[in-house]
Amino acid sequence: IAGITQAPTSQILAAGRRMTLRCTQDMRHNAMYWYRQDLGLGLRLIHYSNTAGTTGKGEVPDGYSVSRANTDDFPLTLASAVPSQTSVYFCASSVGAGAGHDEQFFGPGTRLTVL
Amino acid sequence: AQSVTQLDSHVSVSEGTPVLLRCNYSSSYSPSLFWYVQHPNKGLQLLLKYTSAATLVKGINGFEAEFKKSETSFHLTKPSAHMSDAAEYFCVVSVDIYGNNRLAFGKGNQVVVIP
């Protein structure tokens, strides 16, 4: 059982380019999340999806978009990357979105550098 | 809104001595509380979780945490540090808001273990 996989592991990207970070889980979890981790700031929620077909904005959604076409996949897209989006990105999932299902499982992360 | 405060962004302990990482939270609701650990270049792993059962929670690798509602604290302890405990530790509060569980992360404690 892989849990959550993310691709790529790391990427260097020119500013203005489009980039999609991939996230796949095999636990059949309903809810999925994207976070960014920056030094001294902890993790901040970018977007979330409570169930396939629905998405919502988190704390820092600007410049990012997501889709949730099925249960397993939750890609994060940067339409036009900017240097401030240099960060480590973590995908996570939980059994559900409500009470009693709040433990989140994390992927290994994608380290993105925008030049 | 819920929030988490972790003091002492960097903590140094000698191998074999106790570890204490402090966490205080604020929440308008009855929270779930977590401690996650992140080893270098890895994703986050759940250490332990409090969900309104026993106030003293035991986790993996010899860690435990005590929930004190009167102090709004959830400090993490371990009697004897091991070299493998060198990592970053995050205190996290989860609140269920209208069926949506949201995690708020502290800014983390970077633990260094001195041989």
Residues of chain B below pLDDT 70 = 1, 28, 95-101
Residues in chain A: 115
Query: Are residues A98 and B96, on separate chains, in Cβ contact within 8 Å?
Result: yes
In this predicted structure, what is the pLDDT of residue A31? 92
Distance (Å, whole) CA B107 – CA B26 = 15
Stretch among A20-29, A42-51, B57-66, B91-100 having the lowest mean pLDDT: B91-100
In this predicted structure, what is the pLDDT of residue B98? 63
Structural domains present in chain B:
3-114 (2.60.40.10)
In this predicted structure, what is the pLDDT of residue B99? 61
In this predicted structure, what is the pLDDT of residue A100? 60
What is the band of A2 on the pLDDT scale with cuts at 50, 70, 90? confident
Query: Which of chain B's residues have a Cβ under 8 Å away from the Cβ of A104?
Result: 103
Choose the closest CB to B43 out of A31, A41, A109: A109
Residue environment code for A3-18, b if the CB has 16+ CB neighbours within 10 A, otherwise e: ebebeeeebebeeeee
Residue pair B57/B65 in contact (Cβ under 8 Å)? The answer is: yes
Query: Which of chain B's residues have a Cβ under 8 Å away from the Cβ of A101?
Result: 101
Contacts of B74 (CB under 8 A, 6+ apart): B23, B24, B25, B33, B35, B50, B65, B66, B67, B68, B91
Chain segment A55-109, per-residue pLDDT in tens: 999 889 999 999 999 999 999 999 999 999 999 999 999 988 765 657 889 999 9
Phi, psi (degrees; rounded to nearest 5) at A62: -65, 130
CA distance A70 to chain B (A): 19
In this predicted structure, what is the pLDDT of residue A72? 96
CA distance B15 to chain A (A): 25
Domain A4-114 matching CATH 2.60.40.10: the answer reads yes
Tokens of residue B24, six digits: 């205080």
Query: Are residues B96 and A103, on separate chains, in Cβ contact within 8 Å?
Result: no
Residue pairs spanning A and B at CB distance below 8 A: 57
CA distance A27 to chain B (A): 16
Could you give the 3-state DSSP secondary structure of residue A54?
A: coil
Distance from chain centroid for Cα B41: 19
In this predicted structure, what is the pLDDT of residue B13? 96
In this predicted structure, what is the pLDDT of residue A40? 80
